[in-house]
C-alpha cells in the first residue's frame, strides 16, 4: 500500500493487524514521491499495489503491475461536507483528479451551488489552478493530500477528504484477490510452458491483440530467438511472415502449410483459440520437414520389418477382363464395411493382393495389416502365433512373453490365409475371439480387448470340409458373411497379355535387363496355356524369360511331357506307381535341379511355396 496521507497509513496498519494480513506492506508517499516508493516496492517483490487519488493514477500510468484504488465514496464526502457546514464556509472548491471529484456527483443534489468542482489533469498545474480560483473568491479547498501545501502557501484553508476503514479494507481485499488470481494464472501458464517445452513440436501462441503468449523451447531452436526476447511482443515483430494474424481474424484453421525459416523448411498447423464462441487467440504447431520425413521413414521401416504394412491397392491390379472388373467392384464395396470377408480362389490368383487392396481402401487403412499363412506354421506353434503367450507358459516361451497376431492387428486388418489348414481344435477358439472381440494369451488369466477386421482365404472347398468334419460350420458362417471369388487366369484370358507385359517391365527393371518384345508366336503360346498355377505361374515364366533374355524355354514349360523329359535327362526308368508317388518324384527331381531352392522349385512347377510345402508334408506322412 502506498498511502498519500498519514491517516490512511495509520488505518491500514490497524486493518493489517486486525485481519492478520502478513503479505501486505504499507508505505507513505504522495504523488511523485509515491511513484518512487512504488518502484522500490516492485523491486522488492511487490506483485500488486494499492493507493488513492492522484497517487493511484500516477502509479498506474508508471508501472505494469496491477494497482487497486482506495475509492472515495459518498460516505467519505458526506463526512467532509458535515465539517464544511459547521465552519459556515461560503465558497468551497473541490480539487482533484477525476477519481476524486467525480465522487461528489453522487450526492451533488445535496450540495448547494457554493461548491465548485475543480478537475486536475496533471500534477504540474495544481498551483496555477488553485491560485486562479482564489482570485475568483474561493478561499477554502477540499481535495487530496497534494493540494494542502499549495493551498497553505496561497494563504487559503484546505481539507483532505478522509478514507474510512471500510473503503481501505475493500481495496486491500481486492488486491489480495488479484494476487491470488495472478498466482493461479502464473501457475497455469508455467504448467502450460513446461508441457509445451517438453513436446518435440514447435509451439507459438498469440492473444487477441496478436501478442506472443507462448514460445516454447523448440520454437527457440528453430527461429534462433530466446523466449524472453519474444513474449509480449507482436507476432509480426518476431515472425514477419507469420499467418497467425490471418487465422485470428478469419477463424479458419490451416493445416500442413509449408514455410521457410532461414534455410529450414517447416510444416505448420494453425488453429484459432475459441472461448464462448469468441476468438481469443491463435496457436501454431510446427516441425522441420526433414524430421517429419525421417519419422515417417522410420515408422514405415519398422512396420515393414514386422510385415504390418499393406503395399498394394486396387490400382496395382492389372486387368482387362469383365470378370475382374466385377470382382474389383465388389471388393471395393466390401472395403467400406468391417464385416468379415472370405476370399475363394485357386492358388496363385492373387488373394493377398485383393486383401491388401481392401485394407488400403477401408477406414482402417492407417492401422496395421497383419497376414499369416495357417498352412505355413507348425500346428504346435500356430496357437501361440494367433493368441500370444505369457512368460513361462510353455517350454521355450520367451522371458517377456509375446503378443499374438490379434493384438498386433489391433485397429487394423488381420488376413488369415489358408484358413482351411487351421487345426479343428483351434477353430472353436478362433470363433470365440471373433464373437467376443477379446483374446487371452496362452498361460494368462485376463482377457485383452481387440478391434480387428478379419479377412480369410482358402483354395480348398470349405463346404466339403464341413461335410467331412474337418472344418466347423459355425466358424464358416462367421467368416463368410461376405464372400469374394477371384476367377482363375484361364477364365479371364483377356488379362494374360497385359499381365505378361507388366511382369516383363517389372523384372527388366529389377535385373537391369532389356525388355523383351512379345512376338505373335509367343502371344499365341501364352493365350493357349491353362495356367494351373494362375498369375503366379505366369509371373514366374516372365521372370525366367527376362533373366534368360529369351522366350525359348516356354516350349519346354508348355510341353505335356515335361515330367517324362525330366526323368529321361537323368537316365532313370519311370516306375509304375500311384499318381501321388509320381508327383512326389517329380517334385524331388525339380528340387535336385534347383539345389533345394523351394521358391525356384515352386515357380518351375507353377505352384505356390505353401502348396509345395503342403505336398511335401502330406507325401512324407504317406
- The per-residue pLDDT for range 125-148, each reduced to its tens digit, is 788 888 888 888 888 887 777 788
Determine the CATH number of domain 307-487: 3.40.50.300
Domain boundaries, the chain: 2-70+168-175, 74-162, 206-290, 307-487, 492-621
CB-facing half-sphere around the CA of 95: CA atoms within 13 A: 32
CA–centroid distance for 341 within its chain:
31
Q: Which residues pair with 160 in a beta bridge?
A: 143
pLDDT at position 77, please? 67
Burial of residue 422 (number of CB atoms within 10 Å: 0-12, 13-18, 19+): buried
pLDDT at position 66, please? 93
Non-local (6+) Cβ contacts of 61 within 8 A are none
DSSP state of 315: G
User: What does the alpha-carbon distance between residue 474 and residue 495 come to, in Å, rounded to a whole number?
Assistant: 37
**Pair 6, 56: CB distance under 8 Å:** no
pLDDT at position 564, please? 40
Q: How many residues does the chain have?
A: 622
pLDDT at position 580, please? 55
User: What does the alpha-carbon distance between residue 335 and residue 358 come to, in Å, rounded to a whole number?
Assistant: 5
492-621: CATH architecture: Orthogonal Bundle (1.10)
**Pair 317, 324: CB distance under 8 Å:** yes
CA angle, 361 as apex, 356 and 367 as ends, to 5°?
A: 70
- Strands 157-160, 202-207: pairing is unpaired
User: What does the alpha-carbon distance between residue 25 and residue 12 come to, in Å, rounded to a whole number?
Assistant: 9
**Pair 178, 66: CB distance under 8 Å:** yes
Nearest by Cα to 310 from 267, 257, 362: 362
Determine the CATH number of domain 74-162: 3.40.50.10660
C-alpha cell of 470?
Answer: 474337418
Query: Which uninterrupted H or E stretch holds 242?
Result: none
pLDDT at position 562, please? 40
pLDDT at position 109, please? 62
CA angle, 587 as apex, 533 and 508 as ends, to 5°?
A: 50
C-alpha cell of 586?
Answer: 517329380
Nearest by Cα to 496 from 547, 553, 534, 546: 534
Same fold, 74-162 and 307-487: yes
C-alpha cell of 165?
Answer: 476503514
513-527 pLDDT, tens digit per residue, is 999 999 998 898 899
206-230 pLDDT, tens digit per residue, is 999 999 988 988 888 888 899 888 8
Q: Which residues of the chain have pLDDT under 70?
A: 74, 77-78, 81-90, 98-114, 123, 292-307, 392-400, 556-583, 618-622
pLDDT at position 7, please? 86
C-alpha cell of 388?
Answer: 500370444
- The pTM (predicted TM-score) of the whole model is 0.46
User: What does the alpha-carbon distance between residue 54 and residue 99 come to, in Å, rounded to a whole number?
Assistant: 8
206-290: CATH architecture: 2-Layer Sandwich (3.30)
Alpha helices, H only, 437-578: 462-468, 473-479, 496-510, 520-528, 534-548, 553-558, 562-569
CA angle, 571 as apex, 566 and 577 as ends, to 5°?
A: 70
User: What does the alpha-carbon distance between residue 375 and residue 431 come to, in Å, rounded to a whole number?
Assistant: 18
**Pair 414, 405: CB distance under 8 Å:** yes
Amino acid at each position: 500500500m502506498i498511502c498519500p496521507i498519514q491517516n490512511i497509513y495509520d488505518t491500514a496498519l490497524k486493518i493489517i493487524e486486525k485481519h492478520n494480513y502478513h503479505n501486505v506492506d504499507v508505505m507513505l508517499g504522495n504523488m511523485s514521491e509515491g511513484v518512487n516508493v512504488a518502484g522500490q516496492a516492485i523491486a522488492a517483490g511487490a506483485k500488486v499495489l494499492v493507493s488513492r487519488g492522484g497517487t493511484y493514477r500516477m502509479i498506474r500510468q508508471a508501472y505494469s503491475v496491477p494497482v487497486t484504488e482506495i475509492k472515495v465514496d459518498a460516505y467519505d464526502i458526506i463526512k467532509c461536507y458535515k465539517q464544511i457546514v459547521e465552519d459556515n464556509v461560503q465558497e468551497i472548491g473541490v480539487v482533484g483528479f477525476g477519481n476524486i471529484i467525480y465522487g461528489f456527483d453522487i450526492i451533488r443534489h445535496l450540495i448547494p451551488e457554493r461548491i465548485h468542482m475543480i478537475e486536475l489533469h496533471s500534477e504540474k498545474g495544481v498551483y496555477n489552478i488553485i491560485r486562479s480560483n482564489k482570485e475568483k473568491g474561493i478561499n477554502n479547498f477540499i481535495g487530496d493530500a497534494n493540494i494542502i501545501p499549495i493551498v497553505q502557501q496561497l494563504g487559503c484553508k484546505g481539507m483532505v477528504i478522509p478514507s474510512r476503514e471500510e473503503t481501505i479494507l475493500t481495496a486491500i481485499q481486492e488486491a489480495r484477490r488479484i494476487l491470488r488470481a495472478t498466482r493461479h494464472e502464473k501457475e497455469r501458464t508455467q504448467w502450460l510452458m513446461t508441457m509445451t517445452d517438453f513436446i518435440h513440436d514447435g509451439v507459438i501462441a498469440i492473444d487477441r491483440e496478436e501478442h506472443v503468449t507462448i514460445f516454447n523451447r523448440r520454437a527457440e531452436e528453430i527461429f534462433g530467438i530466446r523466449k524472453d526476447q519474444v513474449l509480449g511482443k507482436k507476432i509480426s515483430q518476431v515472425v514477419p511472415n507469420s499467418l497467425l494474424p490471418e487465422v485470428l481474424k478469419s477463424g479458419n484453421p490451416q493445416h500442413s502449410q509449408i514455410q521457410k525459416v532461414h534455410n529450414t523448411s517447416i510444416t505448420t498447423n494453425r488453429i484459432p483459440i475459441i472461448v464462448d464462441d469468441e476468438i481469443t487467440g491463435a496457436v501454431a504447431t510446427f516441425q522441420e520437414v526433414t524430421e517429419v520425413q525421417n519419422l515417417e521413414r522410420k515408422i514405415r521401416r519398422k512396420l515393414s520389418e514386422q510385415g504390418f504394412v499393406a503395399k498394394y491397392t486396387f490400382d496395382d491390379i492389372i486387368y482387362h477382363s469383365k470378370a475382374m472388373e466385377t470382382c474389383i467392384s465388389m471388393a471395393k464395396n466390401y472395403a467400406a464395411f468391417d464385416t468379415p470377408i472370405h476370399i475363394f480362389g485357386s492358388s496363385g490368383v492373387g488373394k493377398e493382393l485383393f486383401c491388401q487392396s481392401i485394407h488400403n481402401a477401408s477406414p482402417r487403412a492407417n492401422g496395421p495389416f497383419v497376414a499369416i499363412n495357417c498352412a505355413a506354421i507348425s500346428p504346435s506353434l500356430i496357437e501361440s502365433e494367433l493368441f500370444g503367450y505369457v512368460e513361462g507358459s510353455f517350454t521355450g516361451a520367451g522371458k517377456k512373453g509375446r503378443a499374438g497376431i490379434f493384438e498386433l492387428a489391433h485397429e487394423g486388418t488381420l488376413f488369415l490365409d489358408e484358413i482351411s489348414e487351421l487345426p479343428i481344435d483351434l477353430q472353436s477358439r478362433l470363433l470365440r475371439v471373433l464373437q467376443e472381440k477379446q483374446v487371452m494369451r496362452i498361460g494368462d488369466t485376463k482377457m485383452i480387448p481387440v478391434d480387428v477386421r478379419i479377412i480369410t482365404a482358402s483354395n480348398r472347398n470349405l463346404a466339403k470340409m464341413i461335410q467331412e468334419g474337418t472344418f466347423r460350420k459355425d466358424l464358416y458362417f462367421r467368416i463368410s458373411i461376405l464372400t469374394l471369388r477371384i476367377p482363375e487366369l484361364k477364365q479371364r484370358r483377356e488379362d494374360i497379355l497385359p499381365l505378361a507385359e507388366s511382369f516383363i517391365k517389372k523384372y527388366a527393371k529389377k535385373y537391369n535387363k532389356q525388355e523383351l518384345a512379345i512376338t505373335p508366336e509367343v502371344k499365341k503360346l501364352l493365350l493357349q496355356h491353362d495356367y494351373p498355377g494362375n498369375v503366379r505361374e505366369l509371373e514366374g515364366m516372365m521372370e525366367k524369360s527376362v533373366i534368360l533374355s529369351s522366350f525359348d524355354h516356354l516350349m519346354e514349360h508348355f510341353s505335356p511331357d515335361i515330367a517324362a523329359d525330366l526323368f529321361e535327362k537323368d537316365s532313370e526308368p519311370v516306375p509304375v506307381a500311384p499318381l501321388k508317388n509320381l508327383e512326389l518324384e517329380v517334385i524331388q527331381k525339380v528340387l535336385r535341379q534347383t539345389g533345394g531352392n523351394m521358391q525356384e522349385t515352386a515357380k518351375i512347377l507353377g505352384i505356390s511355396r505353401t502348396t509345395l510345402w503342403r505336398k511335401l508334408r502330406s507325401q512324407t506322412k504317406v
